[in-house]
Amino acid sequence: MIEKMSEKLKILFLCTGNSCRSQMAEGWARHLRSGDIEAVSAGTETHGLNPDAVRVMSEAGAEISGARSKNVGEFLDTRFDYVVTVCDKARETCPIFPGTAKIVHAGFDDPPALTVAIDDEEEKLDIYRRVRDEIREFVEGLPGNLEGK
């Protein structure tokens, strides 16, 4: 069983570009779980903040517009309890972290890739909303959702 009695659980949400899914995960953790989880997000590359991700998170009350896209290299000396890869490419290229950080994969669909050929704005945003809500459910279930992964 995962348990941290005296301090917050430190989690890094890692994706490829730190523009969408990992930003949503960090945003939900900060919005819903700031009392018991210290969350950051990063990417194996930086692609800037995805405006559609910002929009759907704001609709749900979790503001991420002030976030910035961060490279995982900024955190290689940081001790995390968990590094959660939220996309398959990040899972494949995840660097080694100091200490006892457990690497956990919790893959989510990639809204930018799924919506690249969609012209209808609402249809596009519905895909972002679905992924946003799946990530919220995952974050709400922490730390239990990290067990057995």
Average pLDDT of 77-85?
91
Q: Is the pTM here over 0.85, yes or no?
A: yes
Cα 38 to Cα 13, 46, 88, 113, 121: the distances in Å are 11, 21, 23, 29, 34
Contact 37, 7 (CB under 8 A): no
Chain centre distance of CA 60:
16
Active-site residue, from 94, 101, 104, 114: 94
Contact 80, 11 (CB under 8 A): yes
pLDDT band, very low/low/confident/very high, at 148 (cuts 50, 70, 90): low
More confident residue, 19 or 93: 19
Is the bond into 98 cis (omega within 30 degrees of 0)?
no
Active-site residue, from 9, 11, 15, 90: 15
pLDDT band, very low/low/confident/very high, at 100 (cuts 50, 70, 90): confident
| 99 CB-near residues (< 8 Å, 6+ apart) | 79, 80
Active-site residue, from 12, 42, 87, 127: 87
Question: pLDDT (tens digit, 9 = 90+) per residue, 34-80?
Answer: 999 999 999 988 999 999 999 999 999 999 999 999 999 899 888 99
Rounded to 5°, angle at Cα 19 from 18 and 24: 90
Contact 110, 33 (CB under 8 A): no
User: Is 20 among the catalytic positions?
Assistant: no
